[in-house]
Structure formats: C-alpha cells, structure tokens
C-alpha cells in the first residue's frame, strides 16, 4: 500500500489496496526417501553417497544409480524330465526391487540416498553407520515425507534395526512433516507361519517414543517382478536329481565342436570378466578414487608444485618437489598399464583364458605398444637426460620394483637407449647444463613434457581399457545367446528363475500405495483396502484371530498393519494404524499424515507474516487464509462435520489466544482445531428377528 507520509509532491498517486487474503498451497504428502545400497554411487563425477537425490521414474533411478544387485542362486535342482523341481534363490539387497514396486504401485517423485555400492558382504556395523549418516543428511531436506530403508531386514541384529527405526521416529517428531514406514524383520524369511518372536523383537527394538509418526507392515511379499538372470548367475549351481549337471557331456553332441567351443568360451568369459572387474575394483579401492580422479589429482599436484616454483624463485627444494610430482604422475600411468594390461597379458596371477587373453594381447601389440607404451617410455628417458633436467629423475617405469612380464611390449617399455634428434621433435627444451637459470629450465622442460603427454596417454590407455572390458562383456552376451539357443534345457532353467516369485519387504510397495491414494483420493483417505500390484501372495497367510492380535495390542499399543490375501479380491493392505494403536488421537495413519500436511502447509504460508505488525489487521488475514484452506479440505471430505464451523475452527487475537505479554514478547499465537475423518475400521452389521405383522 502507498505510504501517505511520503506523499509530498502535488499530483495523482495510485494506491492499490489488497482485499483478498493470501492462500495456502497444500504441500505434497507422498514423497518417500529410500535409503540403501546401489550399484553406482556417483553420477557425472559427483559422489552421491549420503546425498538425497531426486528420482522421478525407474528410468531415472537406473541412469543415476544403476541396476539391481546380483542375485544369489544357491541351488537349482532338475527332475528326471529336466524340469525345474526346486530352486534356492536369495535376493542380496532390496532397495532396487523396492523401488520397482514403488513405481508399479503408483509412486512418483521420490528421493534416494545411496549408502554406497553393493558390498560383497553385508555388515551390520557398516549399514548402521550408513543409515545414521543418511538420516542426518535428510535433516537438510524439506520435501521428503516418508522414510524407509528396505535393506534393514538384512541386519542380523533386530536391536540395531529397531534403534535405526527409532532414530527416524525422532526426526519425524522433530519436524512433524515426515513419516516412517517400518518393515517387521523375519528371522527365517522362508518360514510361511507367523513367529511370535519376530513380532516381539520388532516391538522391543523400536521403543515406545514418537510412535504416532510411523507405521509397521507385515509380512514379506512374494512378488513376480521380472529379474535379470544370466548364465553367469547359474553357473555351477544346477543339479539333476542332486547330481551336478555336466552340460558338455549330457546336453551337447560330442561331434558338435562349435557348440562345445562356444560353451567353453562362455565359461572362460564369465570367469575372466569377474577377474577383470575384481582387478579394477581392487585397484580403485587401493587408490580410494576413481581412475580419472586419481589422474587429475596427480596432475594437479604437479601443477601446484610448478606454480610454487615459478612464484618462489626456483629454489632447489621447489625444483625437487616438481620432480617428485612429475615422477608420481607418470608412475601412475606406468602402474595403470602394468596392473590392467601387462600382468594380465603375461597370464601369471590371476590368469586369463581365451578368448579374453588373445584379445588383450592383440590390443597391446596392435594399439597400446606403439601409441602409448613407447611415448610413455620416451617420457621416462627424457627424465633421465641431464640436457633436459639438471639432475636426472629416477627411472620411473620400475618404481617400487615393478617388472614387465609380457614380452609383447616389455622391451619398448624398458628401453634405455640414448635420445636421438628424432625423439626431440616437437619439443623446445632449454639445456640446463651449466646455465645460471638451470632450475628454471628444468621446471619449464618438465612442464612441457606433462603438457604434451599426460592427458593424451591417460585418455588413450583408459579408453583402451574401458573398450576392452566392454568388448568382453559384449562377447559374453553373444556366446550366452548362442548357447541358450543350442541348449534348450539351460534356457528353460534361466527363464524359470527370471519369472519365479521372490520375497521382498513390503514397505516399497506400501509407499507406492500411499502415493496412489494421496493422488487419487487425498491424504485423509486411509491407505488400506488397497490392492498391491505385482504380488503373488503374502509370505505368511494369517488367520482372522492372528491378524487381530497384530492389529490391536492392549499392552503396548504397537499396531502392525497386515497384508492379506482374499479370494476373489487379491492381495490387500488390510490395516491403517500407526504404531500408536492405543492413542485415540493418533491411532490412524491418515489422521497423522493429514495433520502433517495441514501443519506444514500452514507453516509455509504463514512465514510471509513473520515480522509483520502483530495487530488485528494481520490476525484477520492469517485467520481468513487458514479458514479458506480448511474449508477447501472440508469440501473434499477431509473433515467430519455438516458445516465448516462444525468441522474446524481457527482462533487468533488478543484475549483469545494471546495475552498482552505474548504480544510484547513478539508472539502471535494461532489456534487451529479440526475434526479429522477417521476410517471405518470395524463395520458391524446388526441383525435381529422381526416379529411378523399382519
């Protein structure tokens, strides 16, 4: 509005007077944050561990975090007719498939916090630390409204799982804008009967505080999601009538040399690709960096030392530092070639087999030797020439006793012949011998070598290595495709496992149902009596009485929502209680989440009035704003009451919600009450005889 005290010059002034109160926009209510292990933990060079990353679809998730973990096929047994009689297959980690269930059941936008790449061995302590860090990271995020970590059921300690769930509840109570979805861990997932100790362990572990901010779901689900199963996953696990299958002897004609050759190639490629990946990952683990990150770090260290020398007067100490960083940079490139190429090509340990061995040796002799090994050796020889450096740098290629075993290029790499005029083509070295500025010339010469060689050599060998690994993966797929066409029994086994139902914790699918119900009906509708997509059956079929004991616990009040299978209806979420099942105010999930939404929406909209005048003008605007918002919700069916005044109230004002002292101390207190709709959990139909009348 126009400030009349500033009107001093004669004329006409426009004063636009606002008449309408501001409005409240409802916050989103079903944005889960998934916590767990992923295939990838970085994207475009950015480390994603313990960072909340937005994902809008499964395509997004796979592009950022990769695919699911390798399934653990323990055993496959065939009967006399070569049909699958029994399988023992374990899922190693559950986040990926839980995400799939989330999106298939109606989920949309969500956040993922990666705890890192799938570890070879699950460790309780590492997972506990990771989840604690992820929960702390969530404190900085405003959007997530649901929190779950499906991999938690892998914890051997139910007390650790309970403590992590309780930690989430603490955060939910602190911010009052988020809600925990908790899985009830089964000690034996394959047991199809309810085990009371599982229920008791869950209730003991989660504690007794802040229970209104979470809901538990039981049991696990048998889901029929398609899975990626390759020959490498079943290799060595298939038996027939308890005896390991010999595919060459039992299923390939002895005269079919091509198929036998393909099958041997396939087995070798599976083993060799595992070896190649293991060597690469072990090296990266040793570096604590990705390969390119390590190269850039080494190069930057050299550039820093160079800059320090150029600005510091080229002291002997500074020149020595430049030489040291120069050696470390090119030592890394030599080591790259040695670890990933030479040691594997000489076939010592770990061994490679054909066709990978021949392909690697061909790559070395046709590409790497002349294009990268020889230039790298020339760099090493430059560093030994006193016409280029005032004091020779030590031989780099043999640093740490490193040896070169593959004779296809070892001579070129270890060459120590004197430099020729042709070797110096393209360089403008200044001879430091006897020069007053010998240190400066040495430093400049080393900088010139780095500028002309480092990036090119690293890019070339890294690209060659990645290309070789990719080619071997593609060749494995080609050989596998050929073998599955030629051995139908093996193909049918793999297809059977791909389509077989497997167990998942329920919260991923439940999060999708929350999103579906919120979008279609509203957060005030209980997320129950809802069908779950891609579920064959719950892993435990409960009786009516067993369900009742989980739904209502007179002693602790910790309700557990059950997923049940009904004839003709399918698999339904058949419970909508929070863990505070004995609390008349916060018994139901939809009531707690409705209040979360109203409180957060009102809070965000009211922030614009902070530091406004604490008088009747402001009070009226705030009251009208909240009342309009609640009226809209009432019309949609969120509240009980025939009229708005019976459904809610909003109070603000002096001697209503505030005293003079409150106003003096800067407090504006607004009191809001709503009659939230409760679900009809128990529908009782009363029947009686009616006496006949004339």
Q: For 486-499, what is the mean pLDDT? A: 91
Alpha-carbon span 507 to 101, nearest angstrom: 9
Contact 187, 153 (CB under 8 A): no
pLDDT at 150: 97
Alpha carbon 327 to chain centroid, angstroms? 38
Q: What pLDDT shows up at residue 453?
A: 95
Whole-number pLDDT of residue 89: 82
Instruction: Work out the mean pLDDT of the chain and round it to a whole number.
Output: 93
User: Exposed (0-12), middle (13-18) or buried (19+): which is 366, by Cβ within 10 Å?
Assistant: exposed
Q: Which pair of tokens denotes residue 279?
A: 């060597």
Helix (H) or strand (E) holding 114: strand 110-117
pLDDT of 511 > 90? The answer is yes
The per-residue DSSP string of 601-648 comes to HHHHHHGGGTTS--SHHHHHHHHHHHHHHHHHHHHTT-B--SSHHHHE
pLDDT in tens, 579-627: 999 999 999 999 999 999 999 999 999 999 999 999 999 999 999 999 9
Residues whose CB is less than 8 angstroms from the CB of residue 689 and which lie 6 or more positions away in sequence, other chains included: none
457: pLDDT confidence band, cut at 50, 70 and 90?
very high
Q: Note the Cα 310 to chain centre separation in Å.
A: 45
Quick one: pLDDT band at residue 190, thresholds 50, 70, 90? confident
- Asked if residue 366 lies in contact with residue 381, where contact means CB atoms within 8 angstroms, the answer is no
Q: What does the pLDDT read at residue 413?
A: 92
The percentage of residues in the chain with a pLDDT greater than 90, rounded to a whole number, is 79
Checking 259-262 for CB contacts under 8 A at 24+ apart, the result is: 259/482, 259/483, 259/486, 259/487, 262/479, 262/482, 262/483, 262/486
The SS3 call for residue 556 is coil
Model pLDDT for residues 292-336, shown as the tens digit of each residue:
999 999 999 999 999 999 999 999 999 999 999 999 999 999 999
Q: Which range scores top for mean pLDDT: 187-196, 361-370, 667-676? A: 667-676
∠ CA 270-271-275, nearest 5°, is 120
Judge whether 652 and 661 are in contact, CB under 8 Å: no
- CATH assignment of 32-229+501-587? 3.40.50.11780
Quote the pTM value: 0.82
Using an 8 Å Cβ cutoff, are 392 and 335 in contact?
no
Q: Which residues does residue 649 pair with via DSSP β-bridges, in sequence order?
A: 673
Q: What is the pLDDT of residue 362?
A: 93
Mean pLDDT of 666-671: 97
In this structure, are strands 560-566 and 570-573 parallel, antiparallel, or unpaired?
antiparallel
Integer Cα distance of 148 and 142 in angstroms: 16
Lookup result for tokens 């400030």 = 3
pLDDT at residue 348, rounded to an integer: 64
Q: How many CA atoms lie within 13 A of 652 on its CB side?
A: 21
Whole-number pLDDT of residue 391: 87
**Torsion sign, CA atoms 250, 252, 253, 255:** negative
| Nearest Cα residue to 246 out of 238, 256, 255, 254 | 238
pLDDT of residue 349 exceeding 80, the answer is no
Local confidence band at 508 (pLDDT 50, 70, 90 cut-offs): very high
Beta bridge partners of 565: 571
| Alpha carbon distance 59, 412 (integer Å) | 47
Collapsing DSSP to helix, strand or coil, 171 comes out as helix
Q: Where are the domains of the chain?
A: 32-229+501-587, 257-486, 610-674
């Amino acid at each position: 509005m126009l400030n009349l005290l500033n009107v001093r010059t004669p004329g006409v002034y426009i004063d636009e007077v606002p008449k309408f109160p501001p409005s409240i926009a409802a916050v989103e209510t079903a944005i889960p944050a998934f916590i767990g292990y992923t295939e990838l933990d970085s994207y475009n060079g950015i480390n994603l561990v313990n960072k909340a990353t937005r994902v809008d679809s499964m395509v997004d998730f796979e592009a950022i975090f990769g695919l699911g973990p390798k399934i653990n096929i323990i055993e496959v047994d065939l009967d006399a007719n070569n049909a699958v009689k029994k399988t023992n297959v374990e899922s190693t980690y559950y986040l990926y498939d839980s995400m799939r269930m989330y999106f298939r059941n109606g989920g949309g936008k969500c956040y993922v916090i990666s705890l890192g790449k799938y570890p070879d061995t699950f460790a309780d302590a590492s997972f506990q630390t990771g989840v604690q860090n992820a929960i702390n990271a969530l404190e900085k995020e405003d959007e997530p409204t649901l929190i779950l970590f499906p991999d938690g059921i892998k914890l051997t300690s139910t007390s650790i799982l309970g403590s992590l769930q309780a930690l989430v509840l603490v955060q939910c109570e602190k911010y009052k804008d988020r809600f925990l979805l908790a899985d009830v861990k089964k000690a034996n997932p394959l047991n199809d009967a309810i085990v009371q100790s599982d229920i008791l362990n869950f209730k003991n572990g989660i504690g007794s505080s802040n229970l209104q901010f979470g809901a538990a779901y039981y049991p696990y689900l048998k889901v029929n999601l398609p899975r990626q199963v390759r020959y490498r996953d079943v290799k060595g696990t298939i038996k027939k009538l308890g005896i390991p299958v010999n595919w060459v002897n039992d299923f390939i004609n002895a005269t079919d040399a091509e198929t036998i050759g393909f099958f041997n190639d396939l087995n070798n490629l599976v083993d060799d690709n595992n070896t190649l990946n293991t060597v690469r990952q072990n090296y990266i683990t040793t570096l604590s960096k990705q390969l390119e990150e390590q190269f850039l770090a080494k190069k930057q260290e050299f550039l820093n030392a160079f800059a320090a020398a150029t600005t510091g007067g080229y002291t002997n100490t500074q020149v020595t530092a430049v030489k040291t960083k120069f050696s470390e940079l090119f030592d890394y490139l030599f080591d790259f070639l040695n670890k990933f190429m030479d040691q594997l090509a000489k076939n010592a340990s770990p061994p490679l087999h054909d066709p990978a061995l021949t392909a690697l040796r061909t790559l070395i002799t046709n590409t790497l030797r002349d294009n990268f090994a020889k230039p790298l050796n020339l760099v090493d020889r430059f560093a030994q020439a006193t016409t280029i450096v005032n004091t020779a740098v030590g031989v780099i290629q043999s640093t740490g006793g490193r040896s070169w075993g593959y004779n296809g290029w070892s001579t070129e790499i270890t060459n120590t012949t004197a430099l020729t005029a042709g070797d110096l083509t393209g360089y403008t070295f200044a001879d430091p011998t006897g020069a007053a500025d010998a240190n400066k010339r040495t430093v400049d010469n080393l900088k010139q070598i780095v500028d002309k060689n480092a990036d090119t050599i690293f890019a070339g060998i890294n690209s060659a290595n990645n290309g070789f690994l990719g080619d071997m993966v593609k060749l494995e797929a080609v050989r596998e495709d050929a073998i599955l066409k030629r051995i139908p029994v093996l193909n049918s086994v793999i297809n059977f496992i791909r389509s077989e139902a497997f167990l998942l914790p329920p919260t991923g699918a439940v999060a999708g149902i929350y999103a579906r119900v919120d979008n279609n009906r509203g957060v005030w509708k209980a997320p129950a009596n809802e069908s779950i997509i891609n579920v064959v059956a719950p892993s435990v079929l409960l009786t009516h009485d067993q369900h009742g004991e989980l739904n209502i616990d007179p002693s602790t009040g910790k309700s557990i929502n059950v997923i049940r299978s009904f004839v003709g209806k399918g698999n339904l979420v058949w419970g909508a209680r929070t863990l505070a099942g004995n609390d008349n105010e916060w018994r139901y999930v939809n009531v707690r989440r409705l209040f979360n939404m109203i409180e957060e929406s009102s809070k965000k909209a009211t922030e614009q009035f902070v530091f406004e005048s604490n008088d009747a003008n402001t009070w009226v605007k705030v009251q009208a704003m909240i009342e309009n918002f609640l009226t809209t919700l009432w019309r949609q069916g969120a509240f009980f009451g025939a009229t708005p005044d019976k459904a809610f109230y909003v109070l603000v004002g002096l001697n209503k919600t505030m005293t003079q002292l409150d106003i003096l101390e800067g407090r504006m207190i607004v009191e809001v009450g709503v009659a939230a709709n409760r679900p009809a959990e128990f529908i009782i139909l009363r029947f009686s005889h009616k006496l006949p009348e004339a």
